[in-house]
Structure 1
Amino acid sequence: MKAVLALEDGTIFTGQSFGAAGEQWGEVVFNTGMTGYQEVLTDPSYCGQIVVMTYPLIGNYGVNREDYESIRSFIRGFVVREACDYPSNWRATYKIDNFLAREGVLGISGVDTRALTRHLRSHGTMRGVIGTGNTDPALLVEKARACPQLTGQKLVEEVATSQIYTLPGDGPRVVLIDLGSKHNIIRRIRDRGCSVIVVPPGITPEKIAELAPDGVLLSNGPGDPTDVPATIATTRALIGKYPVFGICLGNQIMALALGAKTYKMKFGHRGANHPVKDLASGRVYITSHNHGFSVDEESLKGLDVDVSHINLNDNTVEGIRHRHLPLFAVQYHPEASPGPHDSDYIFDQFMDMMRGEGR
């Protein structure tokens, strides 16, 4: 079946439909990872987006339940050059076509994804619509232009838990504010013996105090950080009371709670091979990324907050740390999945902070 991807600037890409059929809109973004498509498909941070994979062959090792990063897929569309029909992997339980159909995600293959990526890199991420079957490309362009912007969609509410639940452990008690957390963040904390109490994003500081945590973790998640004012206010109330660690969206929320600003990037960072420099040690780590917003470095001045990490591709802020209080965050994903495990040490720093051994 024919499929069309129409961008709001009038650019049209045609291909073949796979996965679910119909019509869907979203913000069109690209991911440069060569592997890890299953983790991308199940990462809640991609909620509201149509994801373009730059690597030309996707689906060659299938999909398996063990590598999900959430209970289901939250992306709205998936764009590839070629979708593999015959995966080879003893763990595979689905072909990618079957998986997308099961999850209700529209896929389009046969697209010149490198040309599409160059277009997005030059003009920035933009709204788009995928339509399957006999669809009018001009009408899809008009629909793309009428789509809501990413900001204001309150995507965190779609992906976060609404209930408090506990994953027991023998070590420190960590309250994880779920903004769309990946499973591997929880795994990395539990691997260190922690008891993890997962709470919804609208939790109050008073309720957190009742849970008696040794530390608080702000998870990753989708959308604009300014769309979760309640979480920002709660984080502000936690400052100085508990060690607080943020990842990705959690980094942006911490910055806003401290009085800094964030901004939307032209095309963001999405992939598993971004070089990030730890300014304290001088070491460079290859890291996994998925974010379209960043902390404004200029807005940190006068806040007793230092930039702790920078991206060596564009010098954007990849981490912040308070000079006196037990607060720090990183913009990238130290839990990887997909990606290298270079930055797993970040979780050890959080453990040290909860033990009172680090700032």
Structure 2
Amino acid sequence: MKLKPIWIYLENGIFLEAKSFGSDGTRVGEIVFNTSMSGYEEIMSDPSYAGQFVVFTMPEIGIVGINKDDMESDRVHASGMIVRNFNEYYSNFRAEDSIDHLLIDNNAIGICDIDTRYLTTNIRDHGSKMMIASTEISNKEELKEILHSFPRIEEVNFIKEVSTKEPYIHKSGSWDGTQFKYHDAPKGAKKKVVVLDYGVKRNILNELCMAGLEVEVVPHDSDIEVLIQRYRKGEINALFLSNGPGDPMFYKEEVAKIKTLIEAKVPMFAICLGHQLLSIAHGYPTYKLLFGQHGGNHPVRYERNRVVEITAQNHNYNVPASICEIAEVTHKNLFDNTIEGVAYKNEPIFSVQHHPEASPGPHDSKYIFKEFAQKI
């Protein structure tokens, strides 16, 4: 295939030319970098990356192709991917197609033949920035004008875009690495958890099933009073607040609903965005990190036993240290000492910032799903 030229402009004035694959056109998003050595398909299909361009620090991307079983949702949610070397030809016995075709089918842009080390260090030193990429417009000033006219990522309700529109029951279990196929979740699950979908990853649902839970997924705008009544009647046993994209401080309606759930003393477990929304609902606003945590090699210490786990991360926002006034800090990030997990005092609620479902990423933290099942 013949790669086309593409022009990139960042809000701090950086203007670059590179090559493109995937879809043509013009896209706007926030640029972040991810340090995972594998899992580009899972990352691109993770709803938490909606509205973002992902710079991959792994230089070779595309070699293993893509397949439907590795998708974390039904489509690509990221605005685009930025890689050093794009491999059109893939070689993997599980591969069904190329990452190029996946991006084309999902209207997402691929950028290659660019210095990803330069972009990564720039983000590290100066923070995540809004950017625009175009195969149609080469004029810097025109790109700058379009970028400044677009809403920032902090001003967009991405949850509405990525959440399910209808409730559904999730039944499949986690990946069986020996047979390379999904196997059924444990039969006879007696406890039921309802997932409030802010952009949930498929493998989170798989792990909830594997922990022995019956899993029902509902839209983000579901009637909270109905869920509380179902809990009081014993029809459901707990709620799970999922991961998702965007600035948690933007989601006023979701926070108000979570406050109602807290007051009703409904047991809850949350990951990533859900973890942040719980903090805000308790009166502790989140703050934005300089460049966030995105990767599969982040050391997190479980404070209860002082064991260090290598974890998968994907977030730009964090809960404040002052939350220790009302919650036990259960996990800490050893890169920057930020809070990675809390258990709220005198409440049946706990949450983590990192991704224990490990897709992609290490498996050190999968025990958290079993802890949730045991608690309910």
Q: How high is the TM-score relative to the length of structure 1?
A: 0.95
CA contact (8 A) 2:228 2:266 kept: no
Match of 2:373 among 339, 351, 354: 351
Match of 2:273 among 249, 254, 264: 249
CA contact (8 A) 1:265 1:293 kept: yes
Match of 1:277 among 278, 301, 306: 301
**1:134 Cα deviation from its structure 2 partner:** 5.6
Cα distance in 2, alignment partners of residues 135 and 337 from structure 1: 37
Cα distance in 1, alignment partners of residues 332 and 145 from structure 2: 39
Deviates more, 1:206-215 or 1:85-94: 206-215
Instruction: State the Cα deviation string for residues 149-171 of structure 1 (Å, max 9, x = none).
Output: 11120001100012222236622
Cα distance in 1, alignment partners of residues 340 and 79 from structure 2: 27
Q: 2:8 aligns to what? A: 5
Q: 1:328 aligns to what? A: 350
Q: 1:26 aligns to what? A: 29
Secondary structure of the 2:335 match is coil
CA contact (8 A) 1:170 1:195 kept: yes
Match of 1:177 among 176, 196, 218: 196
Cα distance in 1, alignment partners of residues 363 and 19 from structure 2: 36
Question: Between the two proteins, what is the percent identity of the paired residues?
Answer: 41
Ranges in structure 1 where 5+ consecutive residues have no aligned partner? 355-359
Match of 2:146 among 143, 146, 160: 143
Q: 2:181 aligns to what? A: none
The residue identity in structure 2 corresponding to 1:12 is F
Match of 2:320 among 275, 296, 299: 296
Q: 1:77 aligns to what? A: 80
Cα distance in 1, alignment partners of residues 375 and 281 from structure 2: 20
Match of 1:41 among 44, 51, 64: 44
Cα distance in 2, alignment partners of residues 227 and 166 from structure 1: 29
Instruction: State the Cα deviation string for residues 127-155 of structure 1 (Å, max 9, x = none).
Output: 10011156213321332233211112000
The yes-or-no answer on 1:197 pairing with 2:216 is yes
Cα distance in 1, alignment partners of residues 330 and 211 from structure 2: 24
Instruction: State the Cα deviation string for residues 22-44 of structure 1 (Å, max 9, x = none).
Output: 11000111111110100001000
Tell me: CA distance 1:301–1:318, structure 2 relative to 1, closer, same or farther (3 Å): closer
Match of 2:236 among 213, 216, 220: 213
Secondary structure of the 2:153 match is coil
CA contact (8 A) 1:201 1:230 kept: no
The residue identity in structure 2 corresponding to 1:284 is V
Alignment coverage as a number of residue pairs: 352
CA contact (8 A) 1:2 1:134 kept: no
**1:13 Cα deviation from its structure 2 partner:** 2.3
Cα distance in 1, alignment partners of residues 109 and 125 from structure 2: 25
Cα distance in 1, alignment partners of residues 170 and 332 from structure 2: 33
Secondary structure of the 1:92 match is coil
Cα distance in 1, alignment partners of residues 90 and 274 from structure 2: 36
**1:57 Cα deviation from its structure 2 partner:** 0.5
**1:301 Cα deviation from its structure 2 partner:** 4.8
CA contact (8 A) 2:8 2:133 kept: yes
Q: 1:226 aligns to what? A: 249
Secondary structure of the 1:119 match is helix
CA contact (8 A) 2:32 2:123 kept: yes
Cα distance in 1, alignment partners of residues 24 and 43 from structure 2: 20
CA contact (8 A) 2:52 2:78 kept: yes
